[in-house]
Chains A and B, each alone.
Chain A
Amino acid sequence: DIQLTQSPSFLSASVGDRVTITCRASQGISSSLAWYQQKPGKAPKLLIYDASTLQSGVPSRFSGGGSGTEFTLTISSLQPEDFATYYCQQLNSYPLYTFGQGTKLEIK
């Protein structure tokens, strides 16, 4: 199985900050990576697919990058509604999709 490791696991930031979350794959996965946002008690929401393509309706302050084994999710200016847990997911070894362990973004 392809393992995904996110860093950091916890992140404390303020409204207006620029934050970056990293996802590392245990082997190369080209650009076959997606990012999700999950709020407490809710289902995950797709933010980005193909490593850098913004899902329809997602604000442009979210951006994704990377390929191979290292990927990033960047929020350019944090808004109050962005405090949530973020997950990466690999699609390379379909259909054995796997997720990262999550990064919890909290208000400082």
Chain B
Amino acid sequence: QVQLQQSGPGLVKASQTLSLTCAISGDSVSSNSAAWHWIRQSPSRGLEWLGRTYYRSRWYYDYALSLQSRISINPDTSKNQFSLHLNSVTPEDTAVYFCVRDRYCRGGTCYSGGNFDYWGQGTLVTVSS
């Protein structure tokens, strides 16, 4: 059974960096049939996709266009986890943040393609001004 366990501070000051970690059990961050995402949720913006990383002979990274200058997602194969770093935060970045696995299977073969089948427990991050 796959489990994603999130950790990180719930309060960050404006202009600083938000950092969260997602520890994976039951799968590998280096899996060649999964991708690993961060998604956030707030009353004003709803569910918002932030970015992903995945391994297919090398590491790939994709980020939401609106956040590209401030975000990085980093895998850590030694600890089987991945992290989110969002710098220069403002109160607009206040949200519940989720780490998510993306994997689905069809005809006996598994892929990543945007179907989010396992989620972390969520971390409420408040940005104080």
Residues of A within 8 A of B (CB): 32, 34, 36, 42-46, 49-50, 53, 55, 87, 89, 91, 94-99, 101-102
Q: Which residue of chain B has its CB nearest to the CB of A91? A: B114
Between A and B, 11 residue pairs with Cβ closer than 8 Å are A36-B116, A44-B98, A45-B119, A46-B115, A49-B115, A94-B114, A95-B49, A96-B64, A97-B49, A99-B48, A101-B46
Question: Nearest-CB distance from B35 to chain A (Å)?
Answer: 8
Range, interface on chain B: 20 to 34
A97 touches B119 (CB 8 A): no
Residues of chain B within 8 A of A98, CB atoms compared:
49
Q: How far is the CA of A108 from the CA of B101 in the complex (A)?
A: 35
Residues of chain B within 8 A of A102, CB atoms compared:
46
B114 touches A55 (CB 8 A): no
Residues of chain B within 8 A of A99, CB atoms compared:
46-49
Known: A96-B49, A99-B46. A44 touches B116 (CB 8 A): yes
Interface of A is mostly: loop
Q: Pick the contact of B117 from A55, A94, A96 — CB < 8 Å?
A: A55
Q: Which residue of chain B has its CB nearest to the CB of A41? A: B122
B113 contacts partner chain A, Cβ-Cβ < 8 Å? yes
Q: How far is the CA of A88 from the CA of B10 in the complex (A)?
A: 28
Residues of chain A within 8 A of B115, CB atoms compared:
34, 46, 49, 55, 91
Question: Nearest-CB distance from A36 to chain B (Å)?
Answer: 8
B117 touches A95 (CB 8 A): no
Q: Which residue of chain B has its CB nearest to the CB of A87? A: B47
B104 touches A49 (CB 8 A): yes
Residues of chain B within 8 A of A49, CB atoms compared:
104, 115
Q: How far is the CA of A35 from the CA of B120 in the complex (A)?
A: 18
Residues of chain B within 8 A of A43, CB atoms compared:
98, 119-122
Q: How far is the CA of A97 from the CA of B102 in the complex (A)?
A: 12
B52 touches A95 (CB 8 A): yes
92-125 of chain B: CB within 8 A of chain A = 98, 104, 106, 113-117, 119-122
Known: A43-B120, A49-B115, A91-B113. A96 touches B65 (CB 8 A): yes
Q: Could you give, for residues 50-92 of chain B, a 1 whenever the CB lies within 8 Å of some chain A CB and a 0 otherwise?
A: 0110000000001011000000000000000000000000000
Q: Which residue of chain B has its CB nearest to the CB of A92? A: B114
